[in-house]
Structure 1
Amino acid sequence: MEFRALRLLTLLGLLFVEPGFGQRGDMDVGEWLREKAELLNAFGDKLKDVRALEARLNATVDQLTGQKAEVDRLREENEGSTRAPRVAFSASLADFGEIYKGPCTDKTLIYKRVFSNTGDGYDQSTGVFTAPVCGLYFFSFSTYGYNTHVTGAILMKNGARQVSTYDGLAADGSDGAGNAVALQLVAGDAVHMELWDGGRVFDNLNGHTTFSGFLVFPA
């Protein structure tokens, strides 16, 4: 309705302002009005096209805004993951020659040959890994020994037994075993390996008796 009123007013304006309109004896007034109406119709169609284009542009802007928000979210997640602490270590018992450990009073195994120690959680002077941050940690270990003694070791968390390997006296010449566990630790928790009472393990540069761990994810 408003558009028709605007068209009518425009036509009336053209009637009053058209130069020399009173002298157009050779032009049919009806034809002239039809031409002006066609121009107005064409203008209305163009206006519709502009509005449709504007709607599409607004939709595109909304889509790009949503995509930018998603990119920002992913960037924040990635920055958060890169800021997460990196903790991992791996070591074997002997750093040169051959070593027999046990039987002994101090049953703590001190792994001297350190392959990696990202985050400096493992202390090669004591054999103890201390958790630098709270989180879920994964530990694995292997033991090797001969049939003259019990062979195996126990993974200890804050002085409490968790998991172990064990092989008693047997007719075979040697025995090897391994085990693993995932532990929830808080910062400062201590994890180390101990021999069984009366036990013994063997290692050389082939790395038979090992101890490894890493942070799966922080708490």
Structure 2
Amino acid sequence: MSKYCFNAKLTRHVASMDEGQTIRFTADLNKGNQYSNGTGVFTAPVEGWYSFSFSVAHKSHRGSLSVHLLVSGTASVGATAHQAPAGQNSQASNEAIIRMTAGDVAQVVVSDSATDVIADGYTSFSGFLLYSD
């Protein structure tokens, strides 16, 4: 069985993001080269069951940061890092096991506009093939 996995993180703080914007993480592990740093998208190379996890963090006391895992245009699980008190950070995470066909794509997308998204490994996205069909 072929092995496909990636681990990516946000490498710089982002002041603001728009609703529907894909978070572009930078992979430090990308076995099989199916995750694109340029687009923030993972493309399933084979049909099978995949595991994904993500976390987001922000330091805004002006609102929440909501994101969701988008798989081939369909929203899957989401997470919301609620408004943080002044001087503090807020973080949220989620994970999912998803059946994908070859060519399906997965990405983490901002659900509403967001501010002060934190990098340094606090905002990340990872995934791997559990088994192929």
The reply to whether TM is greater than 0.5 is: yes
Residue 170 and residue 145 in structure 1: after superposition, are their counterparts in 2 closer, same or farther (change >3 A)? closer
- The alignment status of 1:207 with 2:124, answered yes or no, reads no
The equivalent residue for 2:45 is: 132
In 2: Cα distance, 1:93 partner to 1:145 partner? 12
Candidates 2, 5, 13, aligned match of 1:99: 13
Q: What runs of 5+ residues in structure 2 fail to find an aligned partner? A: none
The Cα of 1:101 is off from its aligned counterpart by 5.0
Paired positions, count: 131
TM-score (norm 1): 0.56
The structure richer in strand per residue is: 2
Residue 141 and residue 162 in structure 1: after superposition, are their counterparts in 2 closer, same or farther (change >3 A)? same
Candidates 96, 103, 113, aligned match of 1:188: 103
Map Cα deviations across residues 61-89 of structure 1 (whole Å, 9 max, x no partner).
Answer: xxxxxxxxxxxxxxxxxxxxxxx111000
1:132 alignment partner AA? P
The equivalent residue for 1:153 is: 67
Map Cα deviations across residues 168-217 of structure 1 (whole Å, 9 max, x no partner).
Answer: 4354632011100000000000100111212235233x311000000000
Give runs of ≥4 in structure 1 deviating > 6 Å.
Answer: none
Aligned to 1:102, what secondary structure does the other structure show? strand
In 2: Cα distance, 1:201 partner to 1:188 partner? 33
Map Cα deviations across residues 113-171 of structure 1 (whole Å, 9 max, x no partner).
Answer: x1111111101100000000000000000000022232131100011110011134354
The equivalent residue for 1:30 is: none
CA RMSD of aligned residues (A): 1.7
1:169 alignment partner AA? Q
In the TM superposition, 1:38-187 aligns within 5 A as 84-94=1-11, 98-100=12-14, 102-104=16-18, 107-112=21-26, 114-146=27-59, 147-171=61-85, 173-187=88-102
1:161 alignment partner AA? A
Q: What runs of 5+ residues in structure 1 fail to find an aligned partner? A: 1-83
Select the structure with the greater relative contact order (CA < 8 A; seq sep ≥ 6): 2
In 2: Cα distance, 1:195 partner to 1:86 partner? 29
The structure richer in helix per residue is: 1
Report if aligned partners of 1:143, 1:201 keep a CA contact under 8 Å in 2.
Answer: no
Residue 170 and residue 202 in structure 1: after superposition, are their counterparts in 2 closer, same or farther (change >3 A)? closer
Query: Radius of gyration: which is bigger?
Result: 1
In 2: Cα distance, 1:85 partner to 1:217 partner? 9
Q: Report % sequence identity.
A: 29
In 2: Cα distance, 1:169 partner to 1:93 partner? 20
